[in-house]
Chain A
Amino acid sequence: MSVPISYYLVLSGILFGLGVVAFVFKRNVITVFMSIELMLNAVNLAFVAFARAHQQLDGLVFVFFVIVVAAAEAAVGLAIVMMMAQNGQSLNVERAHSLGEGGPTYLPGGSAAESREALKS
């Protein structure tokens, strides 16, 4: 009784989609990073499945590279997060928008309402 490859692919597709949703949905920088990792994992699954299906090693080799890149990304990204925190900035991506149109407006950490006020100004 064998598992059709399509199952794996569908699973990876679902995971990837969930990763995208998480990427859009999450507010915390770290979790946003995590959602990226989730997407990468989904892609890896697809790679391995294809490699298995075609009996070729290239897919597996590529997984390595994906993992390495993910590691690098995590290292740098988390360092950035650390700096954000050290500068007393909130980890909420919606509050970190110094590059936004309208210049660096610091959103007070209070209620959403006054934050919106700050955004408008």
Chain B
Amino acid sequence: MIPLIVFFACALLAVASAVTLILAREPIHSALSLINVMVALAILYLLLGAEFISAVQIIVYAGAIMVLFVFVIMLLNAGVEERTDYSKLAKYAGLPLGFFLLIEIARWMYGSSAGSTIANGAGAITGAVSTRDLSSELFRQYLFNFEATSLLILIAILGALVLARKNQ
């Protein structure tokens, strides 16, 4: 019973926050709502027994990336978003199709996986993926990918430095 309640609470929170992300005119509010989504997802991960992932989700996503966003917003003092409307395409094609995609994907995902159930929250926590297994998987089978991503992020850091440097 409890898992269902938790799930629906989180799902509701996530969707509502996503909608507010769209509707909010104040960038900070969008950021906050996105953080909400992330936290909700983290809880869902817990429910799915992926403790480590949920922790990482919060630490990296909510705790680092989003802080970066907030930081930038504060730094640039990005004011209220102006709702210009130069792009007819976005107005008449993009948005409707976006919504269409939303419904279509949701419907398809439901159809593709309807009925298949998984262990509930409590069971999931006990039968949780142990960090040890995860790390062994990551550092054995996916070692190369891991290294590649580390290289990628290093490059990203350098790129950010180069971009943000005072150009003289």
Whether the Cβ atoms of A119 and B22 lie closer than 8 Å is no
Contact A30/B65 with A3-B3, A16-B105, A69-B149 known, Cβ cut-off 8 Å: no
Min CB distance, A95 to chain B, in Å? 7
Instruction: Give me 19 other A-B pairs in contact (C-beta within 8 A), A16-B102, A22-B18 excluded.
Output: A3-B121, A7-B7, A17-B106, A18-B102, A20-B102, A24-B90, A30-B31, A37-B34, A48-B45, A49-B48, A52-B118, A61-B134, A64-B138, A72-B156, A76-B163, A79-B161, A79-B164, A82-B75, A83-B164
Residue B57 contacts which of A67, A83, A95 (CB distance < 8 angstroms)?
Answer: A67
- Chain A residues 72 to 90 lying within 8 A of chain B, measured CB to CB, are 72-76, 78-83, 85
A-B contact pairs, 13 of them (CB 8 A): A6-B109, A12-B109, A31-B21, A34-B21, A34-B30, A45-B44, A48-B45, A52-B49, A61-B141, A61-B142, A74-B69, A81-B76, A83-B164
Whether the Cβ atoms of A21 and B22 lie closer than 8 Å is yes
Q: What residues make up the interface of A, taking CB atoms closer than 8 Å to B?
A: 1-28, 30-31, 33-35, 37-38, 41, 44-46, 48-49, 51-53, 57-58, 60-61, 63-65, 67-76, 78-83, 85, 91-92, 94-95, 112, 115-116, 119
Chain A residues with CB under 8 A of B95: 21, 24-25
Whether the Cβ atoms of A30 and B73 lie closer than 8 Å is yes
Q: How far is the CA of A115 from the CA of B18 in the complex (A)?
A: 30
Contact A17/B101 with A60-B53, A85-B76 known, Cβ cut-off 8 Å: yes
Residue B84 contacts which of A23, A27, A34 (CB distance < 8 angstroms)?
Answer: A27
Contact A34/B118 with A14-B15, A15-B18, A60-B134 known, Cβ cut-off 8 Å: no
Which chain A residue lies CB-closest to B149?
A68
Whether the Cβ atoms of B4 and A20 lie closer than 8 Å is no
Contact A31/B81 with A71-B64, A71-B153 known, Cβ cut-off 8 Å: yes
Residue B27 contacts which of A8, A14, A30 (CB distance < 8 angstroms)?
Answer: A30
